[in-house]
Amino acid sequence: MNMCSLPEQNEDRGPWIATLSGIRFYIREMNLCDIPLDDMAHALSMNCRYNGHISRHYSVAEHSLIISEILELWGASRDVQLQGLLHDISEVFVPDIPRPFKGEITGFKEYEDALLHEASLEFDFMYPFDERVLWLDRNIVRNEAEALFPNPPEWTKDYEWVRPMPRYIGLDAIDAKNEWLQRYEDIRSDSMGN
């Protein structure tokens, strides 16, 4: 239930987390429209994939940026590119829980789906996601693991290589945030112009 029409931040609205700018995200309300995009990009850029068990910082923002760029290389529409950029937007508010744990946490998938549905309404993209977004997100773990683990886990062979990779993995958090925001603006301005 989106409560963006209630600007006051108070305990009556239930449990919340604070964003970088101090605005509260109310867990039950999913008040995405209250949260500045800059806060969202910041959180994604600070959130490290694979729970940080990799050789260097690799953010959810950079992962999402790469997915969106690959979709552009594949000739996907702007909406599908936006889906790629925002496919992990729920991780602004809930942690990146790696497979296989995500499926074992009761209620997590349902909350994440509800949050992604709210995000699709707020940011105007189709949800559930296009199959290409799902395929990329599922399989890019092979490319990522080969680049980021000193000794890539054997599970990497269970996934397909993603080609082409548009960039080398390795943005710092500030660059990942800025490039993610720029990509969002570029997709939005192109969408508005078409």
- In b/e form, how buried is each residue of 64-102, taking b as 16+ CB within 10 angstroms? bbbbbbbbbeeebebebbbbbbbbbbbbbbeebbeeeee
Stretch among 17-21, 41-45, 154-158, 188-192 having the lowest mean pLDDT: 188-192
**DSSP secondary structure letter of residue 52:** G
pLDDT at 99 over 90: no
Residue 2 Rama label (left phi>0; alpha psi -120 to 50; beta): beta
**What contacts 154, CB < 8 A, 6 or more positions away?**
none
Q: Taking the mean position of all CA atoms in its chain, how far away is CA 101? A: 18
Instruction: Please report, in angstroms and rounded to a whole number, the separation of the first and last CA atoms in the chain.
Output: 32
∠ CA 165-96-191, rounded to 5°: 55
Q: Is the pTM of this model over 0.95?
A: no
∠ CA 60-66-67, rounded to 5°: 90
Tokens of 191: 């969408």
Q: 177 and 61 in contact (C-beta within 8 Å)?
A: yes
Cα dihedral 66/82/117/11 (nearest 10): 80
Measure the CA–CA gap between 54 and 129, rounded to whole angstroms: 28
User: Which tens digits make up the pLDDT trace of 117-137?
Assistant: 999 999 999 999 999 999 999
Measure the CA–CA gap between 31 and 35, rounded to whole angstroms: 7
pLDDT at 144 over 70: yes
pLDDT at 1 over 60: no
Structural domain boundaries in the chain: 1-35, 37-193
**DSSP secondary structure letter of residue 59:** B
Q: What is the model's pLDDT at position 6? A: 46
Q: What is the model's pLDDT at position 10? A: 80
**CATH fit for domain 37-193, picks 1.10.3210.10, 3.30.750.24, 3.30.530.20, 2.30.40.10:** 1.10.3210.10
